[in-house]
Structure 1
Amino acid sequence: MRELVIRPFEARDEEAWRVLWRGYLDFYQAQCADEVYKASFARMLDPERPQQVGFLAESEGALLGLAHVIFHAHNWHLEEVCYLQDLYVAPEARGSGAGRALIEAVYRLADTRGAPAVYWTTQEDNRTARQLYDRIGEKTAFIKYQRPA
C-alpha cells in the first residue's frame, strides 16, 4: 500500500474535494447547490470558524477520502463535543485503511481539544461502513429523527 497521509484541508484541494463530496452525496442520494459547496469548503478553511474542520486522506497526491467535523456545545458536558458529520472514502480506496485513519485523526483532534465525546450517524443498511464502525466505535441505541421536509 502506498503511504497514506491524513491532513487538514488546503485551499488547493477544492476541486478534488468536490469530486469526493459529490461521491458522498450521490451515495446518500442527496444534492447541494453550488453555493453550499463553496460555503462548506470555505468554512473548513476559515481560521475564524475553528468549530468546523475538514480532513483529507491522501496518497501519492490523490485524495482518497474526506471527513467533515463540527465541534459544538452539549448540555451533558461542559466541554464541546465532536460530531463527525460526514465521512467518505472513494470506492477504489475502500479497504485501504483510509476510513479508519480519518476517524482516528478525528479522535486525536477531539482528544487535543478536550472533547469528551465523538459521535456520528450512518444509515442502517450501510453495511460496508458499519463493519469499520463496529470495530472503531460503539453503536448506541439512539434513533435519529428530523423535521419533515
Structure 2
Amino acid sequence: MSVTVRPLAAQDRARWDVLYKGYADFYGVPQTPEMRDKVFGWLMDPDHTSAGLVAVDETGTLIGLTHYRPFASPLRAIDNCFLDDLFVDPAQRGSGAAEALIEGVAEVARQRGWGVVRWITADDNYRGRGVYDKVAKRTMWVTYDLNPDG
C-alpha cells in the first residue's frame, strides 16, 4: 500500500471526525461532537499553535492523523515540537501510516528549526510503542499531571 502524508484540510472533516473519535475511544476518553468541533477549529485556525497532518492511502481515503504544536525549551533556548495525537485506522495498522505521520511531523520540525519532536503514550500501548521504539529514542522522563482545581 502506498501512503501519502499531507496537511489536514477543511474537506477532511468527516473522516477526521471518525478517526479522532476512534483515538478518543482507544484511550477511553469521553468526547462529544462539540469537543471535536473545538479541536478541528483549532486545527483550521492559522493563528492557533496546533496543526495536523493526515495519512492518505492510494484511493485518497484518510487512514490516519496526527496533531502537533511547538513548545519552548527555556533550558536549551530553543523551540521544540510536541506530537499530541497519533492514530491510524485499526484496519490500516501495519501499512506504514504511523511511521509516515511521524516522519511528516519530523519534516515540519526540520523546516521550522525545532530541536526535538516529543510525545507520550500509554504504558500499555504495546503496538504503538513497537513503532515508536523503531523511530525514536525512549527517554528517562516520568510524566506527572496536576489538576490546578484540586
Q: Tell me how far apart the structure 2 counterparts of residues 136 and 63 of structure 1 sit (CA, whole Å).
A: 22
After TM superposition, the structure 1 = structure 2 runs for residues 24-35 of structure 1, keeping only pairs within 5 Å, are 24-35=23-34
Any runs of at least 4 consecutive aligned residues in structure 1 with deviations exceeding 6 A, and if so which?
none
Q: CA deviation at 1:61?
A: 1.8
The equivalent residue for 1:94 is 93
Unaligned runs of 5+ in 2: none
Residues 47-101 of structure 1, C-alpha deviation per residue, up to 9 Å, x if partnerless?
A: 222x211000011121110001011222223232100011001111100000000
Name 2:51's counterpart in structure 1.
Answer: 53
Identity of aligned residues (%): 37
Q: Report the AA paired with residue 3 of structure 2.
A: L
Cα distance in 2 for partners of 1:112, 1:77 equals 19
How far off its partner does 1:117 sit?
1.1
Structure 2 letter corresponding to 1:101: A
Could you say what secondary structure the match of 2:31 adopts? coil
**Pairing 1:9-88 to 2, within 5 Å after superposition:** 9-49=8-48, 51-59=49-57, 60-88=59-87
Give the TM-score taking structure 1 as reference length. Answer: 0.93
Task: Report deviation, 1:4.
Answer: 1.2
Alignment RMSD: 1.3
Give per-residue Cα distances to partners, 1:96-135, cap 9 Å, x unaligned: 0000000000001001000001100001111101111001
- After superposing the two structures, state which structure 1 stretch, 70-79 or 84-93, moved more: 70-79
Which stretch has the larger CA shift, 5-14 or 35-44?
A: 35-44
Measured in 2, the distance between the counterparts of 1:54 and 1:133 equals 19
User: Which ranges in structure 1 are unaligned for 5 or more consecutive residues?
Assistant: none
* Pairwise CA distance, 1:32: 2.2
**1:105 match: secondary structure:** helix
Distance 2:39 2:140 in 1: 30
